[in-house]
A and B are shown apart, each in its own frame.
Chain A
Amino acid sequence: MSSTGDRDLEPRGGDGADSDQPALEVSALRKAYGDTVALSDVDLTVDHGEFVTVVGPSGCGKSTLLRVLTGLEERFEGRAEIDGSDVREGGSDDVGMVFQEPRLLPWATVRENVAVGLDGPDDGRVDDLVSQVGLEGFGDTRPDELSGGMAQRVSLARGLAYEPELLLLDEPFSALDALTKYEQQDFLLEVWNRLEPTVLLVTHDVEEAAYLGDRVVVLGDQPGTVERVIDVAVDRPRERTADGLVPVRESITDALGV
C-alpha cells in the first residue's frame, strides 16, 4: 500500500534537506528474526518535515521498523532510504532515536545523558531541555534516582538535544501520567514547529496518534504490515477535543480491529 497520498503537503524542508528526495522511503521491507517475521511488505514514504505517527498491536514490528531506519538492523530485505541513501550505508548524522526504553548511561548525570549526542559547548541547550521536560533541578542526578517516567523524559530530551533531521520516537510518553503526557506532547510539537524535523512517532495511544500526526500509519499484526494510512486533516494548532479528530480516532480504532 502506497502511503504517499495525493494530498498537497507543503514541504517544510529543513535546511539540509535534499530537495526532491523524500525524507524517508521504505518499500517492500521485510525483516525476520529467524522464523519470526517481524515486518513484511512494508511501504512508507514520509516527506520532509512531516509528522507521522505509527500505531499497531504489541509485537507487530513498530520498534523493528524504527530500528531498521536507524541503521541498527543490518539485515533486512527491501529498501529503506533516508534522503535517498540506504540506511545501511554508514550511520547518518541526521537520524535521532528515542528508544522504547530510556537507555540512560547509569554513571552519567541527567545533564550528561542529555548531552550525549553533542560535541562541544551546547549554549545552554541542555539545561533548557532538562527544565522543559520538567526535570529542573535534576541536572546532576544519576538515573538510578529517577522514576521511570522521569528517565523516559531524560531520554526524550536527549533525542531532542541532538536536533536530528529525522527524529524517531518509540512510545516516548508511555510511562507518563496523563497530565505530564499532554505537556510533553505539546512540548514535542513546539520543538517540531521550531526545528522542523521529520518525525516518526510510534505509540499505542490512539488519541495521541491522532492528535500529533499529519498522518497515522496503522500496522497490522503477524507479520507486521501497513494496514491503513489515515490523513489527519485538522489544522494546527489543534485542540485535543477538536471535532475533526473524532473520525480519525474512529478510523484508527477500526483499522486496529478493536
Chain B
Amino acid sequence: MATVRKRALRRPELDLDRFRWLLGLVVPAILVVLWHVLVTVGVFAPHQLPGPLTVATTLYSMAVAGELTGHVAITLQRVAAGILLGVSVGILFGAVTGLYGLAHDLLDPLFQSTKNIPSLAWVPLFLLWFGIGEGAKVTLIALGAFFPVYLNFSTGIKEVDRDLLEVAEVYDIGRLESLRRVVVPAALPSLLVGIRGGVGLAWMFVVAAELIAASQGIGFLLSDGRVMSRPDVIVGSILLFAFFGNLSDLAVKGVQRRVVDW
C-alpha cells in the first residue's frame, strides 16, 4: 500500500525530469530567432553577420559538395589523436607524481608553471620543432589535454581518503591490490573531471594549431573564411566547433556518469 502511494507520487516528477534538458534549448532558440530577425530587418549588414539560414545553406552546400567532410574528419582525427596522447601521458605522470612524493616534488613545480602558458604561445616553437606536419598539431593538442588530466589525477591520488588506506593496510590487501581496489577507484572521479577538462582544452588547442598552420580542418575554414571575406563560412565553422565540442563533452559526461555511479 505504502509503496504504491510512493510510486504514484514519484511518477510525474520523474517524467518532468526526463524532459528538463529541453529547457536549455529555449534561450538559444530565442537567440537564433532574434538573430534572424535582426539580420532581416537590417540591423546587421549581411557581409558582417549573415543570417542563420544563410549559414545553414552554406554548411549544407559544402557538405553536399563533399568539401566539409574532409575538414571535419581531419579536425576530429587531430583532436582524437591529441586527446589520446595527452590523456595517456597525463595519466602516466599523474600516477607517478600522485604515488611518489619524490616524483611529485621534482616534477610538479615544472608542470604547475608551464600549465599557464597560453596555447598560442607554443605554436611558433612547435612549428620550429615539428614542422607544419600533423605531428606538430597533434602534439600541441596533446599538450592542452595533458594538463587537466595530470593535475586532477595526481591530486586525486594524493588525496585518497587516509581512512580507507588504513583499512587496506589493516586488512593486508597488499600494495598492488590496494592500488587496484582503493587508490584507483578513489581517484577515478578526479581523473574523469580531468579528462573532461582536457577534452575541452583539446578543442581550444586545435583551433590554435589550425588557424596558423593548416591547409585543412575546421580551424583552417575559419581563417580561410576571413581571407575570402565569407562571414557565413566563419560563423558556420564556429558552429561546427560548438557542435563537436559539445558532443565530445556530452560523451565524456556520459562515461563519467556511468563509471562514477556511487
A residues apposed to B, CB below 8 Å: 70-72, 91, 93, 95-97, 99, 101, 103, 105-108, 116-117, 119, 142-144, 158, 162
Pair B169/A91 contact, Cβ less than 8 Å: yes
* Contact code string B94-133 (vs A, CB < 8 Å = 1, else 0): 0000000000000000000000000000000000000000
Question: If A142-B262, A144-B262 touch, does A103 touch B164 (CB 8 Å cutoff)?
Answer: yes
Number of CB contacts from chain A to chain B under 8 A = 48
Q: Is B169 a contact partner of A105 (Cβ separation < 8 A)?
A: no
Tell me whether A107 and B173 are in contact in the complex, defined as CB-CB below 8 angstroms, given that A72-B166, A101-B163 are known contacts.
no
Question: Are A105 and B170 within 8 A (Cβ)?
Answer: no
**B182 at interface by CB-CB < 8 Å:** yes
Decide if the interface of chain B is mainly helix, strand, loop or mixed: helix
Q: A116: which of B166, B171, B186, B262 is its contact (CB, 8 Å)?
A: B171
B170 to A97, Cβ gap below 8 A?
A: yes
Measured CB to CB, the nearest residue on chain A to B171 is A117
Contact between chains at A105 and B163 (CB < 8 Å): no
**Contact status A105-B185, CB under 8 Å:** yes
Chain B residue nearest in CB terms to A144: B262
The answer on a CB contact under 8 Å between B164 and A105 is yes
> How many angstroms between the C-alpha atoms of A91 and B163 in the bound complex?
16
Assuming A105-B181, A105-B185, A107-B185, is B173 touching A116 (CB within 8 A)? yes
Taking chain A's interface residues, is the majority helix, strand, or loop, or is none over half, making it mixed?
loop
Any A CB within 8 A of the CB of B172:
yes
CB distance from B255 to the nearest CB of A (A): 15
Measured CB to CB, the nearest residue on chain A to B161 is: A103
Report B139-155 residues with CB < 8 Å from chain A CB.
none
**Could you give, for residues 180-224 of chain B, a 1 whenever the CB lies within 8 Å of some chain A CB and a 0 otherwise?**
011001101000000000000000000000000000000000000
Interface size range of chain B in the complex:
10 to 19
Residues of B within 8 A of A158 (CB): 171
Contacts of A97 in B (CB 8 A): 170
Cβ-closest 6 pairs across A and B = A117-B171, A107-B262, A107-B185, A106-B262, A97-B170, A103-B163
Is the CB of B167 closer than 8 A to any CB of chain A?
Answer: yes
Partner of B171, one of A96, A107, A108: A96
Contact yes or no, B262 A93, CB < 8 A: no
CB pair B181–A91 under 8 Å, yes or no, is no
A99 touches B167 (CB 8 A): yes
Nearest-neighbour CB distance to chain A for B84, whole angstroms, equals 26
Structural contact, A72 and B172, CB atoms closer than 8 A: no
B172's partner among A93, A105, A144 (CB-CB below 8 A) is A93
Q: A99-B163, A142-B262, A144-B262 are in contact. Are A105 and B182 (CB under 8 A)?
A: yes
Contacts of B182 in A (CB 8 A): 105
| Other contacts beyond A105-B185, A117-B171: 10, CB < 8 A | A72-B170, A96-B170, A97-B170, A103-B166, A105-B164, A105-B167, A107-B186, A107-B188, A116-B173, A116-B181
Chain A residue numbers with a CB within 8 Å of B168 are: 116
Q: Which residues from chain B contact A119 at a C-beta distance below 8 Å?
A: 177
CA distance A143 to B172 in the complex (A): 22
B164 neighbours in A (Cβ, 8 Å): 103, 105
In the assembled complex, the Cα of A15 lies from the Cα of B176 at a distance in Å of 29
A91-B185 in contact (CB<8A): no
**Contacts A99-B163, A105-B181, A105-B185; is A117 near B262 (CB within 8 Å)?**
no
By a CB distance below 8 angstroms, the chain A residues around B170 are 70, 72, 91, 95-97
Q: Which residues of B contact A103 (CB under 8 A)?
A: 163-164, 166-167
Shortest distance between the CB of B165 and any CB in chain A (Å)? 10
By beta carbon, the residue of chain B nearest A94 is: B172
Tell me the bound Cα distance from A93 to B167 in angstroms.
13
Per the bound structure, the CA–CA distance linking A144 and B164 in Å amounts to 15
Can you show 14 pairs from A to B with CB atoms below 8 A apart? Answer: A70-B170, A91-B170, A96-B170, A99-B166, A103-B167, A105-B181, A105-B182, A106-B262, A107-B262, A116-B168, A116-B173, A119-B177, A143-B262, A158-B171
* CB atoms of A116 and B163 under 8 A apart: no
CB closest residue in chain B, given A162: B171
